Amino acid sequence: MKNYPLWKATLVILVISLAIIFSLPSLLYKENSNNWFFDNKINLGLDLQGGSYLLLEVQTEVLMQEELNNISDSIQLIARGLQTNIINIISEEDEIQLRFSNNDKLEEIREKFKNNYRNVNVTINNNTMKIVINEIFKKNIKESAIKQSLEIVRKRIDESGTKEPLIQRSGKKRILLQLPGIKDPERIKELLGTTAKLTFHMIDDDDTISLKANRAPFGKIIVADFYNPEIKYLVEKKSRVGGENLVDAKASFDPQEGHAVSFRFDTTGAQKFGKATSENVGKRFAVILDGVVITAPVINTAITGGSGIITGNFTSQEAADLSVLLRAGALPAPLSIIEERSVGPGLGADSIASGKIAAIIGMICVCIFMILIYGVFGLLANLSLLANLFIIVSLLGTIGATLTLPGIAGIVLTIGIAVDANVLVFERIKEEANKTTSALEAVKNGFDKALSTILDANITTLIAALLLFVFGSGPIKGFSITLSLGVLASMFTAIMFTNFLIYLWFNFSNKKEINL
């Protein structure tokens, strides 16, 4: 093309062509399409397609109670070794008090205990020992639990197949979830409401007296059966192997037991499991999930391969859900639902319709204004505006962005930004046309002199959008993303594409002067 660099023309045609192609998945999306091309589309947010909003709270007080129980067990074990009796144990929020029959060996007990627990404060008053968890250790435990819970929630949601969920921390110990398009929120709540703490314990079938009296001796606990709570098991308190050693779990089918979950341990877990089963052939072991026994099989032979199968009258869905939970890992503490909201797809459809109407009205008004004020140049600016929208849609689809109502607002705003850039260029061209007789020279000078103003304005907007993204959350981030992409697209279309169209028009129309 005369007077226009070939590399610029090639770049413009390539970018606009790719923008149109990559915007098609979002514009022509087909539900349940198996075509990979249509997977690169814009995902609709909670406010546009409906879904579930959940606010969860990590029950860190349960975690602190477990820590106090471990401290109590450790003290009792030391006291037994020194033949000292504990009369009473009182546990509170972050402290535990143990009253002994005498204070003869309390100092020795404290010294031995402090060798294992350095993050507690131990005081002795007469025959009472008071143990308080220090603030730094308590804060570290809670902070670690929040971070671990956030990661496990993310794994569970990803395993469930939910697309584009928003999962983020909210406050000190809360987790915010936005799950667009969720049609079965109850299943999600079940997945998140289950701690999924899996442990394997040996069963003591010999001590029937303690079991009948419902009083577990030291080092043992009584656990109920999941399917029949009246059935109780006396098991070792310390597990032989835990869920933290699992590396895989998946739903399977056992010809005799029906739906089941097969699992595989890591090297450490396989060694522990193999040792436990080889030493206890002919005895029963309990598979305990969240404090209840789901199965209690007899060890017929040593299991040294590091894999096994859990049966328990599961349905197909229950087996699948349990495998998801085991793969994701156990929550360090239970989660409670603080707030729950559902957005219906009808409301989302109304929001989409309103967004479309706003965008269309804005486009029409801008197009009419540009044609009335700038004539043919205004028509070229409108084509540039259309290309701008194609670029935005293609970029959002390519990165798999989630579009929300604020995101639509960002797109509508970029329409004005794109027009503003073209207006600056056209006004500069008008000024240059009064100084020179060459139309193409006026166009070139107009674009060159408007460039710095366009860059200054758009870079300032990009900085503001970056700050919104860094310090904002949820919808604000969505707005900042669409605004940033829109600004980048408008700079390209105003500086490159509009320039290309004007040169193209002059070459085909043979116009020698500019009418603005």
The pLDDT, as a whole number, for residue 30 is 56
Position of tokens 């998945």? 25
The pLDDT, as a whole number, for residue 223 is 93
The pLDDT, as a whole number, for residue 463 is 93
Question: Chain-wide mean pLDDT for the chain?
Answer: 84
The pLDDT, as a whole number, for residue 418 is 85
CATH for 242:
3.30.1360.200
> Which position has the higher pLDDT, 86 or 201?
201
In a domain, 369, yes or no: yes
The pLDDT, as a whole number, for residue 83 is 84
- pTM summary value: 0.66
In a domain, 210, yes or no: yes
Between vectors from CA 89 to CA 87 and to CA 94, what angle results, nearest 5°?
160
In a domain, 150, yes or no: no
Both 278 and 397 in a single domain?
no
Residue at a domain's end among 138, 158, 178: 138
- Position 1 pLDDT exceeds 60: no
Task: Report the C-alpha gap between 36 and 25 in whole angstroms.
Answer: 10
Task: Report the C-alpha gap between 446 and 432 in whole angstroms.
Answer: 6
Both 401 and 484 in a single domain?
yes
The pLDDT, as a whole number, for residue 159 is 75
Quick: pLDDT tens for 372-431: 988 888 899 999 989 999 999 999 888 877 787 888 888 888 888 888 888 888 888 888
Burial of 252 (0-12, 13-18, 19+ CB in 10 A): middle
- Position 136 pLDDT exceeds 60: yes
> Which position has the higher pLDDT, 283 or 313?
283
Cβ atoms of 182 and 51 within 8 Å: the answer is yes
Sheet-wide strand order for 86-91: 86-91, 95-100, 128-133, 120-125
Both 415 and 451 in a single domain?
yes
Task: Report the C-alpha gap between 403 and 469 in whole angstroms.
Answer: 15
Quick: pLDDT tens for 428-442: 888 888 877 677 788
Both 25 and 95 in a single domain?
no
Backbone φ/ψ region at 514: left (φ over 0), alpha (ψ -120 to 50), beta: beta
Quick: pLDDT tens for 300-355: 888 888 888 887 778 888 888 888 888 888 888 889 888 888 776 555 567 667 76
Residue at a domain's end among 310, 336, 361: 310
In a domain, 420, yes or no: yes
- Position 243 pLDDT exceeds 80: yes
Both 494 and 377 in a single domain?
yes
The pLDDT, as a whole number, for residue 16 is 93
- Position 121 pLDDT exceeds 70: yes
In a domain, 163, yes or no: no
Instruction: Residue 487: name the closest of 470, 463, 469, 514 by CA.
Output: 463
Domain extent, residue 227, equals: 198-310
The pLDDT, as a whole number, for residue 347 is 56
Q: Tell me what the mean pLDDT of segment 64-68 comes to.
A: 86
Q: Tell me what the mean pLDDT of segment 358-385 comes to.
A: 86
- Position 139 pLDDT exceeds 70: yes
Burial of 391 (0-12, 13-18, 19+ CB in 10 A): buried
Quick: pLDDT tens for 195-226: 888 899 999 988 888 888 888 888 899 999 98
CATH for 111:
3.30.1240.20
Q: What is the 3-state secondary structure (H, E, C) of 295-353?
A: ECCECCCCCCCCEEEEEEEECHHHHHHHHHHHHHCCCCCCEEEEEEEEECHHHHHHHHH
Task: Report the C-alpha gap between 290 and 334 in whole angstroms.
Answer: 10
Structural domain count of the chain: 3
Both 297 and 355 in a single domain?
no
Both 103 and 132 in a single domain?
yes
Both 13 and 92 in a single domain?
no
Strands 43-44 and 402-403: parallel
Both 232 and 122 in a single domain?
no
Q: How far apart are the first and last CA of the chain?
A: 23
Cβ atoms of 416 and 361 within 8 Å: the answer is no
Tell me what percent of the residues of the chain surpass a pLDDT of 90: 14
Q: Tell me what the mean pLDDT of segment 92-107 comes to.
A: 85
Cβ atoms of 374 and 86 within 8 Å: the answer is no
In a domain, 191, yes or no: no
The pLDDT, as a whole number, for residue 346 is 57
Task: Report the C-alpha gap between 467 and 461 in whole angstroms.
Answer: 10
Instruction: Residue 367: name the closest of 422, 429, 433 by CA.
Output: 422
Q: Which residues pair with 234 in a beta bridge?
A: 222
Residue at a domain's end among 94, 119, 138: 138
Both 499 and 352 in a single domain?
yes
| DSSP code string of 72-133 | HHHHHHHHHHTT--EEEEEE-SSEEEEEES-STTHHHHHHHHHHH--SEEEEEETTEEEEEE
Instruction: Residue 425: name the closest of 509, 513, 502 by CA.
Output: 502
CATH for 394:
1.20.1640.10
Confidence of residue 29 (pLDDT cuts 50, 70, 90): low
Task: Report the C-alpha gap between 422 and 380 in whole angstroms.
Answer: 10
Q: Tell me what the mean pLDDT of segment 494-501 comes to.
A: 90
In a domain, 361, yes or no: yes
Both 305 and 351 in a single domain?
no
**Count of H-run helices and E-run strands, the chain:** 15, 19
Both 276 and 214 in a single domain?
yes
